[in-house]
Amino acid sequence: MRKLSFGRAINEALDQEMGRDDKVFVIGEDVAQMGGDFGVTQGLWKKYGEKRVKNTPLSEAAILGIANGAAMAGLRPVAEIMFADFITECYDQLVNNSAKVHFMFNGTVTCPLVVRTVNGAGFHAAYHHSQTPEAWFLNVPGLYMVAPSTPYEAKGLLIASIRNDNPVIFLEHKLLYDMEGEVSEEPYTVEIGKAKVKKEGKDATIITSQRMVYLALEVAEELSKEGIQLEVIDLRTLFPFDKDTIFDSIAKTGRVILINEAPKTGNYVNEISQTINEEMFEFLKAPIKRITGLDTPTAFAPKLENYYLPGKKDIIEEVKEIVEY
């Protein structure tokens, strides 16, 4: 199977869905001739024209306002918010319109909207371009959140999101864009709401997503040399998360570590942790551990940013503690 970068896989998903369904269109800042700030929409404007690849002013509220109306009218917009941090500018549109319209109109109106946005630290982009905003939306019924970690999943999950009749926030970690992996040329979907076991193990379960999946796999490989076998679960969909895959793993290992790079207070992994406590407590052999970013803004200085983020040393220490519990 041929290899594509994460960014090119997303571009191909957009291209194939726009070719399949003329109701799909792309809207956002510099998504047309420029091809997006990260180059993900390159070539689409030339192929599909300005009616289906539309530049907007620097107004996230306007982007989502237009996209909401278009979705409710029967189109399938893919709106790009350049950085997830700026989703606060259209927060009202997402939580009070996109998420609620199906319920408000008793199922007679749908909002098949995809909001592609770039998240994550490690890029040395400082306070307003490095956040991980999943927790901002967890208390809003009606929104899906998807967060792929590989090019294959990025293409399949984006196609599934575009075809979904619900509003989907599609998170793309900026440090994954250049990562390459095998991707089928034909269109395909990856099931929304289904996690994937990336490595099997018997001693403890690591649950994470996006870039942290690779950190977890590195730790699992390193600790396997010491006889500790870690199971690594990639959530892929953050909401709704896949309880079945998580619970099956916990029933086997009895130990859990949750990893996410956002600050610990209010982190979305807290919801998963409490769900495990409520429904799988009898299977636990040790307290659930959370490894997250610090409760500070993301610093600009590389050393401070690295200190803020979860690291291999943090994970190894926590794993050894619960395995010996």
- Residues annotated catalytic, as ranges: 129
Asked whether 260 and 211 are in contact (CB, 8 A), the reply is no
Q: Which runs of consecutive H residues, i.e. helices, occur in the chain?
A: 6-20, 44-48, 60-72, 91-93, 101-104, 151-163, 212-224, 243-253, 269-280, 302-308, 312-323
Residue with tokens 């610090």: 294
324: left (phi over 0), alpha (psi -120 to 50) or beta: alpha
Provide the token pair at 256: 């859990």
Amino acid (one-letter) located at 109: V
CB count in 10 Å sphere of residue 79: 31
Cα–Cα distances in Å, from 29 out to 46, 63, 158, 215? 16, 8, 19, 32
